[in-house]
Amino acid sequence: MRILVTGHKGYIGTILVPMLIAEGHEVVGFDSDLYARCSFTEGMVEVPEILKDVRDAEPADLEGIDAVMHLAGLSNDPLGDLNPALTYEINHRASVSLAELAKKAGVKRFIFSSSCSNYGAAGDDLIDEGGAFNPVTPYGESKVAVERDLAKLADDRFSPILLRNATAYGVSPRLRFDLVLNNLVAWAYTTGKVYLKSDGSPWRPIVHIEDISRAFIAVLHAPIELVHNEAFNVGRSDQNFRIRELAEIVMHTVPGCQVTFADQAGPDKRNYRVDFSKIQRTIPEFKPVWDARKGAQELYEAYKRSDLRVEDFEGSKYKRIDHIKMLIATGKLDPGLRWRNPTHS
């Protein structure tokens, strides 16, 4: 199949693209490449690509496409909080517009990268796909809005599929350090301290980016009647952890480190414990292979190879929000997050 992957140069996209190619698919990328200067490792696979903002998608971009995998967007809560109106413009309205274009172009499957953050402040009980949404950030609210509007587009010719990913982790050419396991291992390696910014009590399900990619491929291959207009939590039920439990895993992975708390560390409103049985029951092809301990080890070894320093992952090279602010301050981006120079120089 010919697959359009939006956000193909991002944290997950740079892992998903080569996995799709290995499955024999033809991939076309679509990305504004906001993080062109943020590569952590080599290994990005080159594919035919459309370098533009998702807000500027047009009918020609969808011609000849069999399925869309839509990952592009402002990818975390601090970015969403920078300008909530922009979050809705990019994450919500542009996503729905892209789906409308895809439907008109005859695209059969539109696979949307949603999030378990939709559940937000859900408490300690396991929550499945039928559970109530309770997002606590503009990012989570935008994901809920897209899911709502994609469902309205579903018919016998167009199948939205909603993948609610657990909190991602794992090594990528475009690594993100603002994700909990990635961040805890980075602090442990560079400072000897597993640095907790909350009291460690909230629940958080986590999933490796390779397993997220496996879920995208599994729903792409699944019989349409199993996935049409369905939402799936993506992860494993045994990979729900309290943040302090993840800290302990990191402490036992990185030699000589200890757990420490930020000043005034308190509860985090984001607290959700998720049931992932539906995807494994419905689509047996989906077989996640990673767990937190193996992931922490992978991250630790990658940080050693790169000789990671605090000023790297806490600075503008790898910290998404600081990188965006730097691009705006230096005139590379306008306040609407559009490149002022199309060559990105």
The pLDDT assigned to 207 comes to 98
User: Contact, 98 vs 6, CB < 8 A?
Assistant: yes
Listed in sequence order, the residues at least 6 apart from 247 whose beta carbon sits closer than 8 Å to its beta carbon are 184, 194, 196, 200, 259
Residue type, 172: S
List pLDDT tens digits, range 257-274. Answer: 999 987 776 667 778 899
Q: Residue 280's Cα: distance from chain center in Å?
A: 20
Nearest to 168 by CA among 284, 248, 76: 76
CATH for the stretch 2-175+207-239+273-290+325-329: 3.40.50.720
Per-residue pLDDT for 325 more than 70? yes
149, pLDDT greater than 90: yes
Q: Is the dihedral of CA 55, 61, 65, 71 positive or negative?
A: negative
pLDDT, one tens digit per residue, over 9-51 is 999 999 999 999 999 999 999 999 999 999 999 889 999 999 9
Strand partners, 155: 158
pLDDT bin (cut points 50, 70, 90) of residue 321 is confident
Mean pLDDT, rounded, for 214-221: 98
Q: Tell me the backbone φ, ψ of residue 188, rounded to 5 degrees.
A: -65, -45
pLDDT at 52 over 70: yes
Query: Percent of the chain at pLDDT above 70?
Result: 96
Instruction: For the chain, give the percent of residues with pLDDT over 90.
Output: 79
- Which residue, among 102, 289, 302, has the nearest Cα to 213 in the 3D structure? 289
Q: Which amino acid is at 40?
A: F
pLDDT at site 343: 67
76 band by pLDDT with thresholds 50, 70 and 90: low
pLDDT, average across residues 305-321: 90
**pLDDT value of position 267:** 66
The count of other CB atoms within 10 Å of the CB of residue 223 is 8
Q: Domain coordinates of the chain in residue numbers?
A: 2-175+207-239+273-290+325-329
Q: Of 70, 73, 90, 74, nearest to 28 (Cα)?
A: 70
Element (H, E) at 193: strand 193-198
Structure tokens at 241: 């952890």
pLDDT class of 190 with cuts at 50, 70, 90: very high
**Confidence band for 77, pLDDT divided at 50, 70 and 90:** low
Who's near 213: CB < 8 A, 6+ residues apart? 12, 15, 16, 19, 20
* Higher per-residue confidence, 240 vs 198: 240
Neighbouring-strand partners of residue 204 = 241
**β strands within 31-145, DSSP E:** 49-50, 67-70, 109-115, 121-127
Task: Kindly state the average pLDDT of the residues 298-320.
Answer: 93
pLDDT of 2 strictly over 90:
yes
Average pLDDT, the chain: 93
Structure tokens at 37: 């200067």
pLDDT for 75 beyond 90: no
Residue 59 has a pLDDT of 98
